[in-house]
Amino acid sequence: MKKLNFRKLVLALADIFIISVSSIISNFILSLFSLPGAEASIGLSYFILINLFCCIVMLTIFGSYTVMWRYFNYKDYLICTAAMFFGFVLGYAVTIIFDISEHIIFVGLFFLISSAGINLFRFAFRKTFLDLTDVGRAEAFERTLIVGAGNAGRMILTEIQNSAYDENSPTRTILPVCFVDDDRTKLNSKINGVPIVGTCPEIADVCEEYSISSIIVAVPSCEEEERRTILDYCSKTSCKIKIVPYLSELLFDDKHTQLISQAKEIKIEDLLGRKPVEFDKEEIKNLIVGKVCMVTGGGGSIGSELVRQIAKYDPKQIIIVDIYENNAYDIQQELVLEYGTKLNLVTLISSVRDYNKMDVIFREYRPQLVFHAAAHKHVPLMETVPEEAVKNNIFGTFNMATLSEFYEVEKFVMISTDKAVNPTNVMGATKRACEMIIQYKAQHSEHTEFVTTRFGNVLGSNGSVIPLFRRQIESGSPVTVTHPDIIRYFMTIPEAVSLVLEAGAMAKGGEIFVLDMGAPVKIVTLAENLIRMYGKVPYKDVPIVFTGLRPGEKLFEELLMDEEGLKSTENEKIFIGNQIDIDSGEMLSLLEELRIASNNNDSEKTVELLAKLIPTFNHKLNQ
């Protein structure tokens, strides 16, 4: 505030000086040509003082001292001229009243010279002093490109300009340099003095030409594919990128009055080319509120997010079951810090393989909802020890489903994967077996509704490519991709967990819920974009090395088996795969053989029996 008052004082003093000198210049010009009005007198001095006072008052009233010098544009120059005109009119009227008026020719020349001087001073000051100041403080400013010269872009520019002299504003160091917009009719025009210099395909060239260090994408009303294209253009620069949310996600209330505060740094999920899927929170709340909820694998990336979201809906109790104590402890402490004693939370270090221990837990806590996220999920590691994948994934699931049925759990939701569809690896085959177990239980259970959720890769989850890519980039190592053509479906952790909860709310028993995950993404493109988000150039600053497909890995994944088909639901992004008839006698017989083989740690026999249990299992051992 002190700096702002000082700036106003300096500008006002400069205007006083300019108006005073203009009167002298006007008088001198008239005297050169022996024109009336050139006589110096006490009356002339009073006339000048009165007009000086009236002009300063009008400049203040018209807001000429509240506009930042840096952002003066033609409208502000017109406002200054109008303020000077009305100041002279008022001053002339006052001098007539006091009978000290001057010749009209002097008044006109005085007005023209003083108005021109005031505007010229502002123009010169903006072009010289402030430019020199910016050069001296270049490192303190973020030279920023705003993508989108529509209403959102204008609002953001105004917010930045208004906060330029507010020392407490986090945006005061942002220096808007230029706009780009795909509407070519806007090119070469200006918004509040900031030029529109190009279109979105030219973003990389514009950033290089204008030494841009950050980009704000201000196109909240664009379509998903258009946003993805814009972000692709932005990611080809080394700039920091912030993005204004979609219109439906913007907040305008007492706490969110500005757009710029809602612009967030771009995350890798913004490059998926689709909006996050929205779910019916009221339906989820009705499922959770007042219930005892058990989450197996509750310390993992999916399980911990499940626990977080369940905690928001006022459950009676949450039971975290996990074999890995570090992760379980982390989520426990996080929830204790957030909820204190308001949340009834129990954390149990136990394995779903241990039927007897799980029986004790079910008997003591009597869960009403079970979310089964515990599983071995790492494809290459499970190829080397298939018997461990079978023990944990298949028989851990069988234990939990059997106990859920026995203790009359209301709903059992199992988390599966797209790798279960026509599996080519042990992990995928075990998850397909889990799906079959859940469908079998659903067909025979009288009390429990069994349901499966199936989705693709989860961004940021343990074992996903993103944490690996981040570690490689941050350590200066090459980024490793198995194949240049490999593609995957992706979703965010909150999306995956919301799907699980929504499926639980919608379940009637036996369904396999599938999320519409949009278009698949090439892993190499994901790697390139992540490298660019670190401000580096792919293949130049960070090499990308293709290592070859790993054992059991496919070039592409599928979300549905051919015979499953699709049924729509009330949520246009969620579909249900049709149930497949299962020969329960044969399945149970093969499961018993599989149990014996895995307990004997017979890897070859285990894989052989998996292939019998899962007819679509096309396994190629690369050993």
Tokens standing for residue 610: 């998996």
Q: Say how far apart CA 547 and CA 380 lie, in whole Å.
A: 13
Q: Is 190 a catalytic residue?
A: no
Q: Say how far apart CA 91 and CA 80 lie, in whole Å.
A: 16
Give burial (CB, 10 Å; 0-12/13-18/19+) of 509: middle
CA dist list (Å): 237 to 208, 472, 514, 622: 8, 20, 36, 40
CA dist list (Å): 283 to 353, 372, 404, 409: 32, 20, 22, 19
Cα atoms in the Cβ-side hemisphere of radius 13 Å centred on 55:
30
> Looking at 391, 411, 419, 573, which residue is catalytic?
419
Beta bridge partners of 215: 145, 241
What crossing angle do the helices spanning 42-61 and 104-127 adopt, rounded to 10°? 50
Secondary structure tally for the chain: helices H, strands E: 21, 22
Closest Cα to residue 571, out of 371, 287, 284, 277? Answer: 277
Tokens standing for residue 622: 């690369």
Residues in Cβ contact with 45 at an 8 Å cutoff, skipping those fewer than 6 apart? none
Please name the helix (run of DSSP H) or strand (run of DSSP E) that holds residue 195, with its range, or none: strand 194-198
Please name the helix (run of DSSP H) or strand (run of DSSP E) that holds residue 75, with its range, or none: helix 74-97
DSSP 101-155: ---HHHHHHHHHHHHHHHHHHHHHHHHTHHHHHHHHTGGGSEEEEEE--SHHHHH
Angle at 571 between CA 570 and CA 574, to 5 degrees: 115
- Strands 369-372 and 292-296 come out as parallel
Q: Say how far apart CA 262 and CA 429 lie, in whole Å.
A: 44
The answer to whether residues 243 and 228 touch, using CB atoms and an 8 Å cutoff, is no
DSSP 543-586: -EEE--PPTT--SS--SS-TTT--EE-SSTTEEEEPP----HHH
Tokens standing for residue 340: 């204190």
Q: Say how far apart CA 508 and CA 488 lie, in whole Å.
A: 30
- Residue 416 sits at φ, ψ, to 5 deg, of -115, -165
Give burial (CB, 10 Å; 0-12/13-18/19+) of 582: middle
- Strands 574-577 and 567-568 come out as antiparallel
The answer to whether residues 447 and 465 touch, using CB atoms and an 8 Å cutoff, is no
Neighbours of 126 (CB within 10 A): 17
Which of the residues are catalytic?
419
